[in-house]
Amino acid sequence: MDQQPMSPSERSSPSEQPEKKIYLPRTNESENLKKIRHTTSHVMAMAVQKLFPKAQVTIGPWIENGFYYDFDNPEPFTDKDLKAIKKEMDKIINRKLPVIREEVSREEAERRIKEIHEPYKLEILADIKEEPITIYHLGNEWWDLCAGPHLENTKELNPKAIELESVAGAYWRGDETKAQLQRIYGTAWESPEQLAEYKRRKEEALRRDHRKLGKELGLFIFSDLVGPGLPLWTPKGTLLRSLLEDFLKQEQIKRGYQPVVTPHIGRVDLFKTSGHWQKYKEDLFPMMAENEDAAAHEQGFVLKAMNCPFHIQIYKSELRSYRELPIRLAEFGTVYRFEQSGELGGLTRVRGFTQDDAHIFVTPEQLDSEFLNVVDLILSVIKTLKLDQNFQARLSFRDPASDKYIGSDEAWDKAESAIRRAVETLGMDHFEGIGEAAFYGPKLDFIVRDALEREWQLGTVQVDYNLPERFDLEYVAEDGSRKRPVMIHRAPFGSLERLIGILIEEYAGDFPLWLAPVQARLLPVSEVQLDFAKEVAAKMRALGIRAEVDTSGDRLGKLIRNAEKEKIPVMAVIGAKEVETNSLSIRTRANGELGAMPVDEVLDKIKEAIANFENF
């Protein structure tokens, strides 16, 4: 059970020094960590082949917080095997083997691979386009094809900063028609202290796991009969979704957005015009056609994977004047993606999700100011959700070397320039993500770092010159000519499902008062106080406070424990004295015991806290 919150007197005094925060860089942020993890992965592969001579080595890259290697081994690796492998790794490290880089010709590399009978390495070699081929040796005992970088000697590794974590299945080349391999995951750090902090965060992540907490708090379920990646929302979870929707809808109304509703399916031709069909056909659910001939000619319907083509049709339904622009069309629209089952993950990767989509049609002259207005909305949302302590803006631009994008260079340059002007005007902390753009336009993504230093993409805003061109959108300009509008795509939440998953983990299930499905629970000490508790609860509900009475008849200690377990923000204990004095004995998760307070004062304070998005 979670610990009950401490009263203010139990908390640390300001004079006490907080523990020094241990920074854990990601692999791509530290050249030294990259070398450590590359070298450690080779040490692990050498240890595996010493202990399991029949094991064949495939690939072994570094990943965000560690590394892995894929092996083809006749028998499955066990937890006991991992311990033996780690022990052998320690021996190799302590032997202080030099890490030697060698350059060889393609023919020589092929000869050596055939000599040791490792066919997977031949396939890897065939994919290497650069020459000469680089090989890294551990002493004169083991080698692998690798581009590096590596440390110069295994003595630079600290065995106490390395841990093997798990074994998982993996298909060769990620292709389920090919051989099934065994993937050993590990992590390696510069110091034992970093490893200890990494393990602490992993344990905390398990405690905060939104799949676990979502079930415990009764927010959502998954059903095998319905299908993976398709969450079912319970009454409490539906209320949570509604609260987030209502919050954003109110903000949008203040800012001139107009609500629209569009269907869940559309003709394939709609998505051919937008380009989504050509670019993402494999990610869409299969087409529904009336007959074989229609299917052969790709004439049918698909579940929508995005809302923008539908909103474009609403804009295009009548000739627009420059006086009408900007036109801001907003929808909480559910979209569907045929994600692979192995890529699904709770609420953060699903097959059906609701986007807080809006598409804004502007004149070119209005683009900069409207873009800034959208950024202001996103920043306001992030602040209200208490996620503004640690975030960066990513300028997600196209990779000029890639062919996945549509539209002219001129259109892309104009769109990217508009985004760059916006972040520079606002003085935002930002970085560029080349290759992260949508296929039709660049975007500004808001990357939030949570309580466990994990990064999540939340809000996004995109500038699009291409879809207006593809759909031949127009407006009548001031001089009577027909001109092309610019589109802004924006989604402050991204998707409700993913946002809720992130918030559950960020708050560890302790939702702020305004978002909690149940905001207050009244706990009558005995049946004698039940009627009074029901009267107070009715007053609360009349004021829009989500309150309920625990009518179980359990002892007070259990009533409190149950409310704590369900993470109810405000608990009101009602005994004989409270009934006599028309008061409530208040206990909150945010601030502990607050003591007895008059009922009306409690109601006023709860209302005020909710209105200000604060805790009571």
Find the catalytic residue in 328, 394, 398, 489: 489
Please choose, from the candidates 72, 60, 100, 99, the residue with its C-alpha nearest in 3D space to the C-alpha of residue 172: 72
Give yes or no for a contact between 103 and 133, defined as CB atoms under 8 angstroms apart: yes
CA angle 154, 159, 164 (to 5 degrees): 110
* C-alpha closest to that of 510 among 586, 449, 447, 570: 570
Q: Report the distance separating Cα 316 and Cα 362, nearest Å.
A: 13
Q: Does residue 4 carry a catalytic annotation?
A: no
CB 187 within 8 A of CB 202: no
Q: Are 361 and 327 in contact (CB under 8 A)?
A: yes
Catalytic residue among 38, 183, 351, 359: 359
CA distances from residue 500 to 229, 322, 349, 504 in whole angstroms, order as listed? 15, 38, 12, 6
Q: What is the CA radius of gyration of the chain?
A: 29
Beta-ladder partners of 328 = 360
529 given a catalytic annotation? no
> Largest Cα–Cα distance in the chain?
93
Residue 270 CA, distance from chain mean position: 29
Tell me if residue 357 is catalytic: yes
For 40, 245, 310, the CA distances from 331, given in Å and listed in that order, are 49, 10, 11
Q: Which of 34, 37, 241, 337 is catalytic?
A: 337
Residue 210 among the catalytic residues: no
From 182, 355, 462, 529, the catalytic residue: 355
Q: Is 569 in contact with 511 (CB distance < 8 Å)?
A: yes
How many separate helices (H) and strands (E) can be counted in the chain?
Answer: 19, 28
- In the chain, the amino acid numbered 118 is E
86 is catalytic: no
Pick the catalytic residue from 70, 357, 445, 550: 357
- Active-site position among 210, 328, 394, 443: 443
Q: What is residue 447's DSSP assignment?
A: E
- Return the C-alpha torsion angle 488, 493, 497, 500, nearest 10: 180
- From the candidates 35, 150, 208, 308, which is the catalytic residue? 308
Told to judge if 146 belongs to the known catalytic residues of this protein, a careful annotator would answer no
CB of 587 closer than 8 Å to CB of 573 = yes
> Would you call 337 a catalytic residue per the annotation?
yes
Mind telling me the catalytic residues?
308, 337, 355, 357, 359, 443, 489
